[in-house]
A = this chain, B = another copy of it.
């Protein structure tokens, strides 16, 4: 089996506007993520908001097995026709990994059908992600939990449909919990929401976080299942 082709999409605005962010992610969050995945042997390209068509042309998407999505301050700047296109590709089989503040992206809200809202706090507290489903491929190579020393907290109620599989649940020092690794089938595609990340905490450099993203890419890659057809079936398969 050939390895899935990955596109990492990043809003790439914080890094341009804010020296503090640039200090952490000098080449952009997308490059940090891409570098981590390349270290796992994957072929990765990147795309960003301010490129034509946000870098997500039909041609790019056609070449993408798994799309990783990071956005935060400019969700509304993503054009609806690009969202339509990405949604269709997911339903046709492309994997989608939505990271951290991407919970509020148009594409995630569209695919979930809910507000995807949550509670949050920026206090740099500790997070511990517990593996809830140890037999799931996204848990490959992990210990029983992942600790991240300084994070922005996200707390329940996370307004999403119950995931098909719940892989991680997070504990936060400030008293909240969160479903932080959630698998969804939508159409012929697979979606993984993964909570960790932030524009000023160096979370995407952490090896376990990179490993989860690699595992998620492998899991979310197109399954190569049936070409699904819809519509009228004038002639029944059996004599009525």
Judging by beta carbons under 8 Å apart, are B166 and A171 in contact? no
A40 contact set on B, CB distance < 8 A: none
Please tell me which one of the listed residues B130, B153, B236 contacts residue A233 in the complex, with CB atoms under 8 A apart: B153
Closest 10 pairs (CB-CB, A-B): A174-B236, A175-B237, A139-B225, A117-B230, A175-B238, A134-B225, A113-B113, A111-B113, A135-B188, A140-B224
A125 at the interface (CB under 8 A from B): yes
Judging by beta carbons under 8 Å apart, are A228 and B171 in contact? no
Taking CB as reference atom, which chain B residue is nearest A147?
Answer: B237
A135 contact set on B, CB distance < 8 A: 93, 185, 187-190, 222-223, 225
A2 at the interface (CB under 8 A from B): no
Interface size counted on chain A using CB atoms at 8 A: 76
Write the residues of chain A forming the contact surface with B, with a CB cutoff of 8 angstroms. 87, 91, 93, 110-115, 117-121, 123, 125-126, 128, 130-137, 139-144, 153, 155-157, 159, 161-162, 164-166, 169-177, 179, 184-190, 222-234, 236-238, 240
> Distance (Å) between the CB of A73 and the closest chain B CB?
15
> Distance (Å) between the CB of A227 and the closest chain B CB?
8
